[in-house]
Structures are given as structure tokens and as C-alpha cells.
Amino acid sequence: MTTYVDSSALLKRYVAEADSDVADAVLAADATLVTARHTVVEVRRNLARLLGGDDLARARAAFVADLGSVAIIELDADTCQAAAAIAESSGVRTLDALHLAAARRVAEPGMRFLTFDTRQAQAARALGLEVVPA
């Protein structure tokens, strides 16, 4: 099974937040994880915003190590055009639309979309994606 992981869900792996345990369980249950290129920017920005010193260094190193086992979807012209259409029709934020477009690009039967953002989850369901947690 494949799980598309949005940035906020992946961040829960490195920063103790509400539902971090849920995110960890979903991530641990799936050997095939996918995310979009802009996740690198989003996660590193938020790590720097939320952590400092040794905690930041450890979290950043763990994130970089984990990226080696995550498939990265590049944000090419077609994906950006799809994201623009998703943003126009659903009203989701720009970065969320990019996640949704990237996920649709690689969608396969049984693929799950991991997010804890209510608006993004609604848009993902409207696009026919299976959202976790339910």
C-alpha cells in the first residue's frame, strides 16, 4: 500500500504535537511513502520555527535521513496546473493544492492520503482520495 504524506503530518514525526502518535502509527504501517518536493521546504521551515539548538539539529537530521525512503514527486508544469485548478474549485491553500495535485498524479488503487488538516481532507475526499485518519 502507498501513503501520500502531507507536510503537517510528516512534521508530527519530529515535533510532539496532538496526533503525533496517530501519524507515527500510519507512517510505520506503510513501507511506501510519497510526498511532493515542496514538503522539504515546509517541514524544514516549521522545524526551524518550532525547535532550536540540539533539538532542531536532531530533528533536521532525522528528517533528512527519512527522506531517503520517501518517494518525492516533482512539481512540474502539469502538477502546478492541476494544483491551480484544485485551488480554484476547492478554495484550499496553495501549498495544500500542490499536495493534492501531486497525490492525484500518483494515485493508485488503495493509496491513502495522510493529513490532519480538515479543509485539505475534505478536498482530498472530493477528489476521490482515501483520507487517513478517517
**Mean local confidence (pLDDT), 112-124:** 95
Domain with residue 108: its CATH number is 3.40.50.1010
Q: Give me the amino acid identity at 82.
A: A
CB 48 within 8 A of CB 63: no
Structural domains counted in the chain: 1
User: 0.85 cut: is pTM over it?
Assistant: yes
What residues make up the domain containing 80?
Answer: 2-132
Q: Which residues contact 44 (CB under 8 A, 6 or more apart)?
A: 60, 63
Examine the pLDDT at 134 and tell me if it is beyond 80: no
- pLDDT tens across 52-76, in order? 999 999 999 999 999 999 999 999 9
Q: How far apart are CA 71 and CA 81, in angstroms?
A: 21
